[in-house]
Amino acid sequence: MTSQFSNRPEPETLRFSYSGTALGTILVAESANGVVALFMGDERTKLERELREAFPEAKLLCDDAGLASTIAKAVALVAAPHLGTDLPLDIRGSPIEVAVWQALRAVPARETRTYGAIARDLPITATAQEVGAACAANKIAVAVPCHRVVKSDGSIAGYRWGVRRKRRLINIEGVA
């Protein structure tokens, strides 16, 4: 006997795991295509809640053993963001968000850009405020380096995972 719901696609499974870093706890979630989330915070329960809110249709599976290599690479990235990473990323967002995130990935390590400069260089029309909103919506910390974006006067502004973490990441990179 078949169910009347048999034509519904199965929910996507996202595997996730946690680790401690010098910047607090990280949660890394991975789809079949790559990392969809790298969240930073202080509490595992809050990070998992954020993951559930970001991917409400997904089935979440904690997989510490299966993600050991991914977690190790994420921890290394947080410790030395200027070295980059070869983690495969599954970047998901609106066209403006994806364009901003691709632009951010092109900002060289140890350099910063302003929100306005990122907006001017995009292949689509966007404002500095839209760049800021895309940064705030970024789900893949450090690998999509929103920490490299500063205000027009060079000062450090908001960061999804806290201004303190943003400042530390910029300092770790040795931005002049």
Same structural domain for residues 21 and 66?
Answer: yes
What are the angstrom distances between the C-alpha of 163 and each of 91, 109, 166, 167?
23, 19, 5, 6
Mean predicted confidence (pLDDT) in 89-113: 95
What confidence category does residue 9 fall into, taking pLDDT thresholds of 50, 70 and 90?
A: confident
What backbone torsions phi and psi does residue 140 show, to the nearest 5 degrees? -120, 80
Last residue of a domain, one of 61, 83, 105: 83
Catalytically annotated residues? 146
Q: Count of domains in the chain?
A: 2
Q: Residue 3 burial by CB count (10 A; 0-12/13-18/19+): exposed, middle or buried?
A: exposed
Q: Which domain holds residue 122?
A: 95-173
3-class state of residue 94 by DSSP: coil
Of 157, 155, 158, 100, which is closest to residue 127 (Cα–Cα)? 100
Helix (H, G, I), strand (E, B) or coil at 31: coil
Does residue 158 fall inside a structural domain?
yes
Q: What is the pTM of this model?
A: 0.90
The band of 4, judged by pLDDT with boundaries at 50, 70 and 90, is low
Which range, of 4-13, 49-58, 98-107, 165-174, averages the lowest pLDDT?
4-13
pLDDT over threshold 50, residue 1 = no
Residues 32-75 pLDDT 10s: 999 999 999 999 999 999 999 999 999 999 999 999 999 999 99
